[in-house]
Amino acid sequence: MSRQIIIDTDPGIDDAMAILFAFKAQALTVLGLTTVFGNVSVAQSTRNALSLVELAGVPVAVAEGAATPLQMPARSHPDFVHGKDGFGNIGWPAPRGEADSRSAAQFIVDQVRAAPGKVTLIALGPLTNLALALELDPGIAPLVEEVVMMGGTVHTTGNVSPVAEANIINDPHAADAVFGAAWPVTMIGLDVTHQVLLKAAVLERIQQANPDQGDFLAQAAQCYFNFYRGAMGIDGCFFHDAATIAYALEPSLFGCRHGAIRVATEGLAIGQTMMAPEGRQFAEPGWEDRPMVKVALEVDDVRVLSLFEQTLSGR
Ligand code: RIB
Ligand code: CA
């Protein structure tokens, strides 16, 4: 039985890897892509999501979402990582399709209400659309099968500040609301994505087996590889967004702990994801009555990369 997912996304080179991975995975049915600001503007995210749907040749709806965070001004888009177009400045042609008339939040509510207990939300960008869906219809939380989100870090150094990961710092208020809602959340953060290094050779092999999508990924990833080489001296790139798809397909590839997660919404630590481990009591207020979040801390990097390559190679 195929798992039904909605991918909330800000494509984004690693978002594109995740989305094409999900489209190719027979055990997943993608009900729609919902878009959000982040790596690029939301308008560019929507164009890119439509392009990925066309590239894969799948009949998947795209619904546009939030252009800004819930409460604070938007941060600048990281064009030095993903290029101005989010696809590594490769001059990819504009899509022909159009977005759904509904907002991302409304699309999420409609899909969850139509299939209670059966829809998983995979979030690859700032969590604004998920928070807006909760505002629109708080009753959806217990009806969602699982929220699997890429973002945050508990033990690993952040990638925007020493303590903050990009998706969380882009809308910390939304993230704190999502971690506090009555749905089961699994956090795939830097603790695991920094343990998985994707090298160019994997994309080259995918390119040979699946030239249409492989050519696109190999071209777009050049910009991403250049960033990692220049900024960190790394030969390859960290496997961020696509790790959520690996988790959705094969949760046993990840080792997880449970705890309450709070997000710092101001000050030097803004965007920090803090974990209170399950079973611990603290004198400080703010941690009581928070739901347990499943936090990935270990990962089988070899099997994750092999699942990605085999799925995208169509084997
Ligand atoms: O920190 C990694 C996340 O931020 C990924 O979702 C990537 O697309 C970037 O925006
Ligand atoms: Ca992303």
130-141: per-residue pLDDT in tens?
999 999 999 999
| Residue 8, pLDDT above cutoff 70 | yes
What single letter denotes the amino acid at residue 85? D
Residue 30 confidence (pLDDT): 98
The residue to which tokens 């604004």 are assigned: 128
pLDDT digit string, tens, across residues 213-263: 999 999 999 999 999 999 999 999 999 999 999 999 999 999 999 999 999
Mean pLDDT of 267-280: 97
Catalytic residue at 240?
yes
Question: Which ranges of the chain does DSSP label H, i.e. alpha helix?
Answer: 13-24, 42-56, 79-82, 104-114, 128-136, 166-169, 172-180, 190-193, 200-209, 211-232, 242-249, 301-312
* CB neighbour list of residue 283: distance below 8 Å, 6 or more residues apart: none
Indicate the pLDDT class of residue 1, thresholds 50, 70 and 90.
Answer: confident
CATH architecture of 3-312: Alpha-Beta Complex (3.90)
- Weakest-pLDDT range from 9-18, 119-128, 170-179, 280-289: 280-289
Q: Which residue's alpha carbon is nearest to atom 1 within ligand 1?
A: 166
Kindly give the distance from the C-alpha atom of residue 167 to the centroid of ligand 1, in angstroms, as a whole number.
6
Tokens of 252: 């046993």
pLDDT digit string, tens, across residues 170-198: 999 999 999 999 999 999 999 999 999 99
Burial grade of 232 (CB within 10 A; 0-12, 13-18, 19 or more): exposed
Catalytic residue at 212?
no
| Residue 315, pLDDT above cutoff 60 | no
| Residue 22, pLDDT above cutoff 90 | yes
* CB neighbour list of residue 284: distance below 8 Å, 6 or more residues apart: none
Mean pLDDT of 145-167: 98
| Residue 283, pLDDT above cutoff 90 | yes
**Mean per-residue pLDDT over the chain, rounded:** 97
Q: Which residue's alpha carbon is nearest to atom 10 within ligand 1?
A: 39
Catalytic choice (171, 191, 240, 300): 240
79, 241, 244, 245, best to mutate for ligand 1 pocket (most atoms within 8 Å of CB): 241
| Collapsed DSSP state (helix, strand, coil) of residue 207 | helix
Kindly give the distance from the C-alpha atom of residue 10 to the centroid of ligand 2, in angstroms, as a whole number.
5
d(CA 273, CA 196): 20
pLDDT digit string, tens, across residues 82-109: 999 999 999 999 999 999 999 999 999 9
